[in-house]
Structure 1
Amino acid sequence: MNNDEHKYLFGFLLIKELTPAKLRLLLKTYSSAKTAWQNFDYDKLLAIGFDEQIIQSLIISQKTIDLEREWKTMFDEEIKMISYQDAEYPENLKEITSHPLALFYRGNISLLKEKQLAVVGTRKPTSYGAQVIEKFFPVLASAGLTITSGMAIGIDSLAHNAALQNNQKTIAVLGEGLCQKNLAQHSQRILAEKILQNNGLIVTEYPPFFKANRFTFPARNRIISGLSLGVLVVEASEKSGSLITAHRALEQNREVFTVPGNIFSNQSIGTNSLIKEGALPVTNPTDILLALNFKTVSIKNQEKINYEDEMEAKIHMLLDLQPIHIDQLSKKSGFDPIAVSAKISLMELKGLVRKVEGGMLIRG
């Protein structure tokens, strides 16, 4: 699509009363966005299903929008745009119902063509969820997957940060425009800067100054899943927005992976329900890679641990990603609590044990 077509498509996207379905119909009726913008035909639009109110809104908006100024402002904001007709537009996103007609972005647009895994979950992750991210991502990074998420507080931001820490590329899909003001007010503005500084990508379907609302987040979830080979849901409560992403993924014929969780944890109700619905439970990153048909994966074998004594070996064997109190650990191991406490201190120095909130312990 040439620059003129981009500009006029951009103009239509600025008209809030024009729904995506109506815009598709408009573009189908006319030969181009430019032709449609310059040649509104009242009777023609009425004939193809536009009601009078929408037609009047189009006419008024077309007269009141200073398209040249708005177009220049987008470039002044250093925001770029691609349309569904451009080579940079990912083919897998075109496959989904109601794919965006345009994408606005900052950063490395070539990432849209990379193999992606969407990672989503609760805004209130437990230490278990954080540990899953930490343990999975080195292996996912070695496989070359780009991580896509929504840059929200919680699992989203943990996923983006873990990707960056493992030299993995990452894409953030937002439910608002990418103007400097919106990004500056975003709760994860520092993360946004890190993503761009590390050759990542921030993308949206909304024009630069568009403000997020309660409808835009569910809408952007279809893009997160649509860009990806599959969606990994790490932790999710019963009404978590990440379940919307999972269901969109199923509708789009994408793989849905869920990490089984504690049946007594509110943050696992959603993920455990997804398993009942047919999502693939995963307990290690290789489960994901095998399901996505990654034939060769560079996975570092864990070095054999040389334990100092029987106590150290038994304590380490009893630890996993589920936090445990030192008293429970002492009881399970059969060793004296004081001796276990001293041993834990030494094991922390070796990286075999980690303390999490409340003084609980997990495997390092």
Structure 2
Amino acid sequence: MLWTEDRIARLCLGSFSGFGCRSLRKLWRSFPSPQKAWTGSSHALLQAGIPQKAVERFCEWRKDCKPQRLVDQLAQEQISFVIPDDPEFPQTLRDSSDPPENLFVRGNLVDAPSVAIVGTRHLTTYGKRCVDMLVPELTRAGLIIVSGMALGIDGLVHEATVNAGGITIAILGTGIDEASLYPREHVALAHRILEHHGAIISEFPPGTGSRKEHFPMRNRLIASLTQATIVVEAARNSGSLITAKLALEENREVLAVPGPIWSDTSVGTNHLIKLGAKVCTNARDVLEVLTFDRPELIAQARALMPLDPHEQQLLKLLTEPKHIDELGRLLAIDSPTVSSRLAVLELKGLVKSIGGQMWIKGN
């Protein structure tokens, strides 16, 4: 990474806790360059629309800020500083209504279709079974799995993705340096994510601790980065419902896993379905949503992951049209398993439905 004066200035400005995205955008509009904004007078900052208290705090903070120390800390922690002009900045974020002005990244930002899976911190056995069913199939389809590394469903999602051999991205509401990783119970999980070619990202600089107001901002990134958000379990006031709302505002798909009507952790998901969220009962429901009017996703996901033995056998059988029940009998597996494997193959463009639950090998 080439540290120009402007990039260093952006890092410094983005490291001041009093400047959010809106303040930074005011600075970009009012100054000819980030460097000029960084060295701007208090009067010029006020003229840019920055509130007086924030200007006073910033000018005091700037006196003690050591730009090279910030750069050195990123290098020491192996953190990349990514801005919207960089090619590795995700296009989905660039296209969102409220994109981050800076990203701090550990690991690899993989350019591939992705889905977010979020849910309650107080998961049940039912929620765990849902994650264990959904994640391996979505991973096998070549999708990147995104979540917030919180306790409960989020952490389980990352763990299941890694165990399935997939790639997962954790988006945090804290800094991503070792000392700031949160929750501390998931530090080892964060390391596993990185070891398996995933990424940990945040718009908050190193040293930023856990603050309640940061988590809706984290949820905004989760919703904006992905093509769809799946809510597995959520109570009435769960933060994952905020993620779903933000996804809808970004014109992303929202799916919810229905749950028992007597379960507190299914009140939120069942309510989402009442409001119009698509029902998610298996991986096929997700894949159908992603490929509807989005054929480019098929091309992107094709052959990203190797076929498992059942998928290989299905391809051999589908040189001629066959009914899904016949496929189940020939392979000695149940229809839901056949259906989920066909959904993966369909996403990769290897098979196609010809109606009446009949399938044939694709082009």
| TM-score interval for Structure 1 and Structure 2 normalised by the shorter chain | 0.7 to 0.9
Matched, 1:165 2:166: no
Q: What per-residue deviation string (whole Å, max 9, x for no partner) do you get for residues 30-84 of structure 1?
A: 122112113x134333333234333322322222211222221221122111111
Mapped contact 2:223–2:229 kept (Cα < 8 A): yes
Name the SS of the counterpart of 1:148 in structure 2.
strand
- Aligned partner (choices 129, 142, 145) of residue 143 of structure 2: 145
Q: How does 1:17-36 map to 2 (within 5 A)?
A: 17-36=18-37
Identify the residue that residue 86 of structure 1 maps to in structure 2: 86
Residue in structure 1 matching 2:188, options 187, 190, 201: 190
Asked whether the equivalents of residues 93 and 226 of structure 1 are also in contact (C-alpha less than 8 Å), the reply is yes
Q: Counterpart in 2 of 1:154?
A: 152
Could you tell me how far 1:161 is from its partner in structure 2? 1.3
Aligned with 1:85: secondary structure?
A: coil
Structure 2 alignment gaps of length 5 or more: 292-296, 315-326, 337-363
Instruction: Quote how far apart the aligned CAs of 1:29 are.
Output: 1.1
SS of 1:195's partner is helix
Q: What does 1:47-196 correspond to in 2, within 5 Å? A: 47-109=47-109, 111=110, 113-183=111-181, 186-196=184-194
Identify the residue that residue 263 of structure 1 maps to in structure 2: 261
Q: What SS does the corresponding residue of 2:166 show, helix, strand or coil?
A: coil
The CA distance in 1 between the partners of 2:298 and 2:208, in whole Å, is 42
For 1:248 and 1:115, the matched residues in 2 are separated by 19
Moved more, 57-66 or 272-281: 57-66
List, as ranges, runs of 4+ consecutive aligned residues in structure 1 with deviation greater than 4 Å.
Answer: 294-299, 301-307
Does the aligned pair in 2 maintain the 1:6–1:82 contact within 8 Å? no
Distance 1:279 1:184, change over 3 A: closer
- Kindly provide the amino acid, as one letter, of the partner of residue 140 in structure 1: L
Task: Assess, with a 3 A threshold, how the Cα gap between structure 1 residues 247 and 89 changes in structure 2: closer, same or farther.
Answer: same
Assess, with a 3 A threshold, how the Cα gap between structure 1 residues 288 and 34 changes in structure 2: closer, same or farther. Answer: same
Structure 2 Cα separation of the partners of residues 175 and 93 of structure 1: 16
> Aligned-pair distance for 1:185?
6.5
Native 8 Å contact 1:172 1:202 kept in 2: yes
State the Cα distance separating 1:184 from its structure 2 match. 8.2
The corresponding residue for 2:214 is 216
Question: Percent identity among equivalent residues?
Answer: 35
Deviation at 1:250, TM superposition (A): 0.5
Distance 2:226 2:80 in 1: 22
Q: How far apart in 2 are the matches of 1:174 and 1:26?
A: 25
- The reply on whether 1:16 has 2:14 as its aligned counterpart is no
SS of equivalent residue, structure 1 residue 202 = strand
State the distance in 1 between where 2:228 and 2:153 align: 16
Change (3 A) 1:2 1:237: same
Q: Decide whether aligned partners of structure 1 residues 19 and 135 sit closer, same or farther in structure 2, where only a CA change above 3 A counts.
A: closer
Q: Distance in 2 between matches of 1:187 and 1:119?
A: 20
Q: Any conservation in 1 of the 2:26–2:50 contact (CA below 8 Å)? A: no
Between the aligned partners of 2:44 and 2:119, the Cα distance in structure 1 is: 46
Please tell me whether the aligned partners of residues 116 and 146 of structure 1 are also in contact (alpha carbons under 8 angstroms).
Answer: yes
- The answer on whether the counterparts of 1:79 and 1:208 sit within 8 Å (CA) in structure 2 is no
* Letter of the 2:63 counterpart: K
Return 240-249 or 58-67, whichever deviates more: 58-67
- SS of the aligned residue for 2:212 comes to coil
String of CA shifts for 1:293-331, please: whole Å, max 9, x gaps.
Answer: 065887846865879xxxxx9xxx9xxxxxxxxxxxxxx
Secondary structure of the equivalent of 1:122? coil
How far apart are the structure 1 equivalents of 2:20 and 2:157? 32
Count of residue correspondences: 306
Does the CA-based 8 Å contact 2:182-2:210 persist in structure 1? Answer: no
- In 2, Cα distance between equivalents of 1:267 and 1:51: 41
Mark the CA change 1:157 to 1:55 in structure 2 (over 3 Å): closer, same or farther: closer
Cα distance change, pair 144–209 in 1 and its aligned pair in 2 (3 A): same
> For each residue in 1:230-281, what CA deviation from the matched residue of structure 2 results, as whole angstroms up to 9, or x when unmatched?
0010111111111111011001100000011100100100000001111001
Report 1:224-239 matches (<5 A): 224-239=222-237
- Deviates most, 169-178 or 179-188: 179-188
Q: TM-score, normalised by structure 1?
A: 0.78
Matched, 1:206 2:204: yes
The one-letter code sitting in structure 2 at the alignment partner of 1:69 is: R
**TM, length-normalised to structure 2:** 0.79
- The letter for the 1-side match of 2:194 is L
Partner of 2:45: 45
* Higher mean C-alpha deviation, range 174-183 or range 200-209: 174-183
Tell me the residue number matched to 1:340.
none
SS of corresponding position for 2:57: helix
Q: C-alpha deviations, 1:200-228, integer Å up to 9, x for none?
A: 11111111111120011111001011110
Distance 2:14 2:274 in 1: 40
Per-residue deviation, 1:143 = 1.2
Classify the secondary structure of the residue corresponding to 1:141. Answer: helix
Find out whether 1:246 has 2:244 as its counterpart.
Answer: yes
Match of 2:283 among 285, 288, 304: 285
Distance 2:155 2:50 in 1: 42
After TM superposition, the structure 1 stretch with the greater mean CA deviation from structure 2, 1-10 or 65-74, is 1-10
